[in-house]
Structure 1
Amino acid sequence: MPSQGTIGDRVRGLRLSRRMSQAQLAGPDLSDSYVSLIESGKRTPTPVVARLLAERLGCTTEFLLHGIEPRQRIDTELGLRHAELELQHGDPSVAAERFGEIVKVAGEENAMLAAHARLGRARALEAQGRIGQAVEAFERLRREAAAHPERLADLPLTVALSRCYQRAGDTLRAHDLAAYALTQVNHLALAQGEIAVELAASLVATEAARPQSPGLSYVRHILAVNGVPSVVNRTAEIHSLWQASVAAAEGEDSALAVRLADDAIATGRPARMAFRLAGIALEWARLTVALGTASFEELYDLASAASGVFAGFPEKAAEYAASLVVLARLQLVHNNPDGAANLATSALDTLGRTGAVAANAHLVLAQASLVRGDGEAMSRLNTAKGSLDALRSERSNPDREVARAWRELGDLYGRGGVSEEQTNAYRRALEAAGVRDVMVGMTVDSTLVR
């Protein structure tokens, strides 16, 4: 945080670090020209104005007037960074507790810090899978952003809510929020950075049933602009910087501790962006191959790049296995059942024989067997059914991935002439998509589970 120079220097430095315009800082109480005069040193704010500016800039009046940073504030700033590191590279439940503690410590005099701590806690709740609580937290933050745009930006909150509603099964609300965010992003001509990538990740899920939608056009644009960047595993370096920051804090060198924590966060950012873009690329490939709107070579290169990102991180074994299944499906479309089977087997070897990814791998193996006519298809299908059955007790919320797998299982049982199992699989697809008490024998509408 800047502490040198004049009051105007500090006001301008803080405003720019918060990415606020002069008009946003002025709010309804001041004029942006008055803020400009303060920043240029031509006016000195009165105590009342100084308190008002300090609140909007997220600092104390003492710091704004004198350039002095109280110890409690810098400790709170450090706590925010350590909680962020816990969220990104540690335990999200611990991060949620730490963010909650910061909310209490920050108090009303540090409204900006408190708002960012509440945002961190909402993200930590989402990371734990506590989606209902995360939605409530994000909705409260969005109301706060509407009342105090100098504290929080609405756009990232809208994107986060779209993602959470999608995970909760409320696809209509997710779509509406993503569509609103898309209009804002298009107005800003934003195609790079975390907001653009997070929105693309939300859109590729919410717009899957709308192949000609502007949302999917935006996803295509994001992938074209950003690609799937290669990334080096710097996890050890991140944890080293994190521990050094903790040690510096224990030695009461708070300024160094903050700097080291910032370095750790920045070191992890390229991998986080690469993970998100890789996930978008895989979902895009899965969706596009079904629509037949892109060449095999284009999709395979994209999916291979995504798979390569996850392959370099042992903690991303589930994502890596899922990427192998996507590549296997592409091989099936390219009429290469042997290549598809090899990739699906590698996915099972990577992750194990249970779970949604394993069920999809078994489905690929069954399709490969049907193409080759080797007589193993029914055995493969029954194994996939067992994997999906095991998920029934684990996942009580609607799950479109599981629904898609059940639908595909039904299709394959139909190709094998097993009509009773086909009907049962279709019924289970509807249940997994959140549709209950359907008529036995009803055919699944693919848009429900796509």
Structure 2
Amino acid sequence: MDEPAEIGRRVQRMRAERGLTQRALAEPSYTSAYISTLESGKVRPSETALRFLAERLGTSYEELATGRPAHLATELRLALTDAQRTLATGDAAEAAVRYRQLLAEAERLGLDAERAEALLGLGDCALEAGELPQAIGHFEAAELLLAQEPLPRRARPIRGRAVAHLLAGELRYACYLLESAIDELNASGLADPEALVLLYAAVIGPYIDMGAHARAAHAAELALSLAPQVADPALVAGMHRQVARTFLTAGRPADADASLAKAQAIYRQLRLRTDLAHCHWMRGYVQAQNGDLVAAEVELRTARDILAARRAALYTAQVEVELADVLRRLGRCEEAAELLSGLLELGDSHGAVHAGGAHRLLGLMAEERGENKCAEEHYVQALTLLERSGASGDLADLCRLLGDLLRRTGRIEAALDAYRTGLGHRAAPGTTTLGPAPASPPRR
């Protein structure tokens, strides 16, 4: 709210423009003396008084209190929803440009909720681009703006920060952020399904990387059990956006805001599909480890289809490596090889680990066919790619496979060299130690 003198001048100007006397404006709830005192800036009006005066003057409370026409804030929220849709459909670079423009506009208008929404969007864009320090900065700024909001409202920046720290290799801190938020949600009775799906899905990655597979599987099961409560009807979201535009054109900003709120909720859920895909992926991984290969194939194909539709290329590639391994173990090696052939060109720093995984599997299949020379070529190619990506655990396993192959073919010195290389890539002691698992949601 502006200072009393500024509000008083605004009320006086609007009253004069409408040809109202102080008495006509004041009745029946206030006196002309009160209006005179207010217009002179000698009293700070209450929210109740401003809402009454706004209705009498044919304007909005927001415009009377701040000088900002209500439609400006609504138009900004509509633009944020459009940027959210752009990000949800996969074009992060385009969305980032728009979010930066909208952040500047929200700052100019002094709209903190919209600033937070723009910062969250920029954080998600930075995550997809691999710009981790920038992502952390955006999420921290959003969380600061939302500091007085309930925890479910703060789940998105918390999750964003945790994912950024995970991708930066800070596994234990990522777990700490997510588990603390999950425990607080469940203990406080604020077990919001969308917030919990976000947090449970995000904690799967650090659990896997730290070797806590049982805990990861439990988080995946909990997230998937909550998923039906956060459906994502994209067509309905589009309808709400169009309805909001109609209301805005008709001068009904409150109705436009209501439609936009529904659209934004749906687009947030659309972003959840990537997280839910990770849950299906995790479930398939666990089923494969337990030997239930048929069920694992179903889950991994579900994850792959969701991620491919989201154009999440690197995540899709990682799931395809897992799926190819399941197909290999089911005896469907031709299908597996066809799936892997599309991954061999992923040679950049992010895709090298997946291309390396594809070569590793092709090497295994070559060994099973008795084609040792072909297997060795795939293992060596995988070794080169994994060294580039810095995937220590995968390198250690690959060096063991290559060493075993060389030893079986009588090349003992070369095998010893491969084993020594693998020993140099063992995980550091203690990095898989975790504290207590977060509590499960209360039963209803």
TM-score bucket of the superposed structures, by smaller chain: 0.5 to 0.7
- Alignment counterpart, residue 321 of structure 2, candidates 304, 319, 325: 325
Matched, 1:136 2:129: no
The answer to whether the 8 Å contact 1:192/1:222 transfers is: no
For the pair 1:381 / 2:379, whether they are aligned, the reply is yes
- Structure 1 residue 280, shift from structure 2 partner: 2.4
Given the superposition, is the C-alpha separation of residues 64 and 170 from structure 1 closer, same or farther in structure 2, using an over 3 Å criterion?
farther
- Hey, what's the Cα distance between the residues in 1 that align with 2:271 and 2:380? 37
Paired letter, 2:336: L
Given candidates 341, 345, 357, the residue that maps to 1:348 is 341
Contact map agreement 2:345 2:355 (CA 8 A) in 1: yes
SS for the counterpart of 1:383 is helix
1:326-356 Cα deviation digits (max 9, x unpaired): 1222345xx44x4245324323236746433
Greater Cα offset, 199-208 or 89-98:
89-98
Q: Percentage identity across aligned positions?
A: 18
Give me the CA root mean square deviation. 4.5
CA deviations 1:378-407 (Å, max 9, x no partner) are 122123224335xx2xx6xxx6xx334323
TM-score (norm 2): 0.66
Equivalent residue number for residue 217 of structure 1: 218
Q: Is the 8 A contact 2:159 2:198 kept in 1?
A: yes
Distance in 2 separating the partners of 1:248 and 1:61: 22
**Structure 1 residues 271 and 106 mapped into 2: Cα distance closer, same or farther (>3 Å)?**
closer
Q: Deviations over 1:275-316 (max 9, x none)?
A: 3212222134335644x4x733443332232234345x3835
Aligned pair partner of 1:423 in 409, 420, 424? 420
Q: Aligned residue for 1:339?
A: 332
Structure-2 residue corresponding to 1:403? 392
* Aligned counterparts of 1:419 and 1:281: Cα–Cα separation in 2: 39
Q: How does 1:191-340 map to 2 (within 5 A)?
A: 193-208=193-208, 209-211=210-212, 216-226=217-227, 272-286=271-285, 289-290=288-289, 292=290, 295-310=292-307, 313=309, 315-316=311-312, 318-332=314-328, 335-336=329-330, 338-340=331-333
Contact 2:74/2:256, CA 8 A, preserved across alignment: no
* CA 1:138–1:266: 2 relative to 1, 3 Å: closer
State how far apart, in whole Å, the 1-side matches of 2:211 and 2:202 are.
14
Alpha carbons of structure 1 residues 305 and 116: separation in structure 2 relative to 1, 3 Å: closer
Amino acid at match of 1:179: E
Question: In the alignment, which residue of structure 1 is the partner of 2:96?
Answer: 96
TM-score, length of structure 1 as denominator length:
0.65
After superposition, residues 81-230 of structure 1 pair within 5 angstroms as 81-89=81-89, 91-107=91-107, 109-146=110-147, 148-149=148-149, 153-187=153-187, 193-208=193-208, 209-211=210-212, 216-226=217-227
**Higher RCO (C-alpha 8 Å, min separation 6):** 2
Aligned 8 A contact 2:87 2:95 in 1: yes
Q: 2:368 pairs with 343, 366, 371, which one?
A: 371
Q: Which amino acid aligns with 2:383?
A: K
Structure 1 range deviating more: 211-220 or 404-413: 211-220
Letter in 2 for 1:285: G
CA drift at 1:240: 8.6
- Cα distance 1:109–1:270, how it changes in 2: closer, same or farther (>3 A)? closer
Structure 1 residues 378 and 65: CA distance shift in structure 2, 3 A: same
| Structure 2 unaligned spans of 5+ | 1-43, 52-59, 408-414, 434-444
Question: Could you say which residue in structure 1 is the equivalent of 2:356?
Answer: 359
| Residue pair 2:71, 2:248 contacting (<8 A) in 1 also | no
Return the alpha-carbon distance in structure 2 between the equivalents of residues 269 and 141 of structure 1.
16
Task: Structure 1 unaligned segments of length 5 or more: list them.
Answer: 1-45, 54-59, 431-442
Mapped partners of 1:426, 1:253: distance in 2 = 70
Amino acid at match of 1:168: A
* CA contact 2:204–2:219 (8 Å) conserved in 1: no
1:112/1:151 contact within 8 Å kept: no
Query: Secondary structure in 2 aligned to 1:315?
Result: coil
Tell me, in whole angstroms, the C-alpha distance in 1 between the residues paired with 2:50 and 2:61: 9
Question: How far 1:415 sits from its partner (Å)?
Answer: 1.9
In structure 2, distance between residues paired with 1:51 and 1:94: 44
SS in 1 for 2:149: coil
Does the alignment pair 1:413 with 2:402?
yes
